[in-house]
Structure 1
């Protein structure tokens, strides 16, 4: 028998956790690019991780950086951006200096690592858990295959996908999504930790 779906109160709590975690991630990104980063209200979906790509409506070229989680949570944190936005972020991170493709990818992966660390640290302070990201993995290509690739090793079966859109206005505007994908057992452990 499968576990019951989260209640409305539990979904609200997960949304607030995502809001806190992704908010800290957005603040870290703002410091990196030297500007403001706006964040949408996070969306919460109870779904199989393999359905994560369905959150994206088109097949535009994209870049996704995946970081696993070590500690009491299992799943993945993914930074996903249209290719043009990823290029804008790379340029902002490198302050417009010429760089090789490897250096650009390294800058983007390190930015994702900083975002993920800020997000997981915030969730860790909320729960009292020590949560750390794993080594970032970067993929490029059409958005759905790329997301399917980075989410491929998340435990199959129902889980929780927390998604927040971010945008950075300015001379070189850019945007994308932060996805926090929790395996079902981790979502339940998090809710239990929050007393729900």
Structure 2
């Protein structure tokens, strides 16, 4: 990995890491929504900045985001992001009734914690590293506000390039739910991960 970021070959490897990690995360999400099918897009790996990530998530669109840090050899954040209406829908599926306020937020935090743990556990098996998420932190607001808050502590926040592994998911629940999972790695962690994988 050079100063400009990963090469195309390295990005392909990171996509495969995301594919494995997000696959485990989606399986965990499917169990949470009662075994219903959850579809996952082919994860993307890209080098970008927080402002661009925010635009891809909808810019001014209202979202709910749950941020988790990482404990172990990787440093960065995981961000579980849903459109605001889908956050409420997921809460209804999880709890069996429409909810708002603390009850809904608690359910979404726990969901993000389980999904993030599954993703990091899968990556940990690839690398033989012990990786755990930190306590989940929920943010509401526009996609721009949520991403800015989540990435503020990651290598200079808005202006510094970061490696983002992103996957879209949709659950065939009633009502349907869709969102995204992002794994944002600091550059040194990206290098360490690629080195650990022999790339």
Judge same fold: TM > 0.5, yes or no: yes
Change (3 A) 1:75 1:50: farther
Q: Which residue of 1 aligns with 2:147?
A: 147
Q: CA deviation at 1:4?
A: 4.2
How do residues 18-37 of structure 1 correspond to structure 2 at under 5 angstroms?
A: 18-34=18-34, 35-37=36-38
SS of the residue 1:72 aligns to: coil
Unaligned runs of 5+ in 1: none
Structure 2: where are the runs of 5+ without partners?
A: none
1:190 matched to which residue of 2? 193
Q: Distance in 2 between matches of 1:195 and 1:131?
A: 19
Q: Which residue of 1 aligns with 2:62?
A: 61
CA distance in 2, matches of 1:91, 1:149: 26
Shift in Å, 1:166: 0.2
Deviation at 1:171, TM superposition (A): 2.4
Contact kept in structure 2, 1:49 and 1:181, CA below 8 Å: no
| 1:171 aligned onto 2:174 | yes
CA distance in 1, matches of 2:161, 2:62: 27
**CA-to-partner distance for each residue in 1:36-82, whole Å, 9 max, x for gaps?**
11000111111234542132244211000000001000000000000
Query: Alignment partner of 1:138: what SS?
Result: strand
TM-score by length of 1: 0.94
Residue 164 (structure 2) aligned to one of 161, 165, 177:
161
Instruction: Tell me if 1:130 matches 2:130.
Output: yes
Asked if 1 retains the 8 angstrom alpha-carbon contact of 2:124 and 2:131, the reply is: yes
CA–CA distance in structure 2, aligned partners of residues 60 and 51 of structure 1: 14
Decide whether the 8 Å contact of 2:163 with 2:187 is kept in 1.
Answer: yes
**How many angstroms does 1:23 deviate by?**
0.9
Post-superposition shift, 1:190? 0.3
Structure 1 equivalent of residue 112 of structure 2: 112
SS state of the match for residue 160, structure 1? strand
User: 1:158 Cα deviation (Å)?
Assistant: 2.4
3-state DSSP of counterpart to 2:73: coil
**How many Å separate the matches in 2 of 1:94 and 1:13?**
37
Shift of 1:185: 0.4
Kindly report structure 1 stretches of 4+ aligned residues shifted beyond 6 Å: none
CA 1:115–1:23 in 2, change beyond 3 Å: closer, same or farther? same
What's 2:74 paired with? 73
Paired residues in the alignment total 194
Please report the TM-score for the alignment, with normalisation by the length of structure 2.
0.93
